[in-house]
Structure 1
């Protein structure tokens, strides 16, 4: 039988001694201060505590930063909404200022005429008859009557062809069925101005073959007939031609009124 080696007993004894020393170091408290193992333990606990503290601070900063970004996003959204409202109000103010300016010009023009007119808004137009008719916001209650002249701050617009209580339909000067007695302001040559297919121009056919007319001449209403008073500006001569030898001259007249952008007009309310 093999004999046990003596070093095993020696190893067991050393282990017991080390365990006893370790236990004494852990449980004992020397007068001079902390033991080696206590210092090791406190150092380990301190480092772990610092690590946890740093992780907590990082997490708290992350949450705080996210919360701040969320608040900034909400504030930015609110400011954009307020800016949109301000832009909308500014556009409305600008539109009102422009409308007031146009109405003031109409009233100033009205003061220069002997006829009685009432200001009206253009409330409707038919796309297929854009250059034929429009609807205005005055009618019988305001004193409007059939065939009442309609003018803008720039010149003649047309005449009323239908009247309701609070609105009317206006036949524009550019409609083929519309015509008005006219005269060249300088030469006093008379003719008839009518609408037609040459939009935006009007056509003026003269009564005399010897009519003296040239581009740039002003054309106004002649006052002949019972519809339009004399002196209302119709437009300016753009060109003059003779369709065939021996015939009277025909002038193309550019209207003084911008029929594409009419928003307010003056409608006559007192019969002549």
Structure 2
């Protein structure tokens, strides 16, 4: 396929940065030697997220670009000298230099290719399978980068899946309006007598609130498993970072219990960060 047909004419890099995220990216909590690789991973993930969320691209065009990014990661394709494509070149170099598996990048592409063609979900299990590719690889990358053991991966998967579901709840209305995408299990909505279109209202109906709470019940189970993670991490800075993220995940879930994500995006606040840092202090030693 001609290069222009694969990559298109426009660079899709957005102006979205780390400040747009719920959780700190490449923060001072992370050891200095790890920050550049983490930023390379984040930049790649942001670009492929931009690709799949670009409303000017067709689903087929999105998948072609995403698969090309995967081919660059695997060393199967040259990338044009353009900011979006070059994030894959940079990340490939990082992965080869550090020995972190290529799958921590290519699994993300599987999830985003799914986003290009799938906009509805029918079960919690289906949603967790999506999280397996869209979120869990991030934890694998960080832990493998720090040389941590495989026993850290199950609680990391729980944490990353919890964070992904919480993000879906935060953005449920926006995702439907801008992307016609909804991750809430449709049978759960039907059981409560509400529909996906109720996300377009000014505030949540009682039935929709019960669906949110049901998802939060499942997320609480994931967060409980994630509590094990900091104690399993050997690297002190990474252990503290993980503890902060675990606590922020708990605090965001609690905010989503109290506040209505349909009425407005529920966000963490400064005091949440302060309390998360205080909770992480127990893992300093």
Using structure 2 for the length normalisation, give the TM-score: 0.23
Which structure is larger by alpha-carbon Rg, 1 or 2? 1
Using structure 1 for the length normalisation, give the TM-score: 0.24
More helix by share: 2
More strand by share: 1
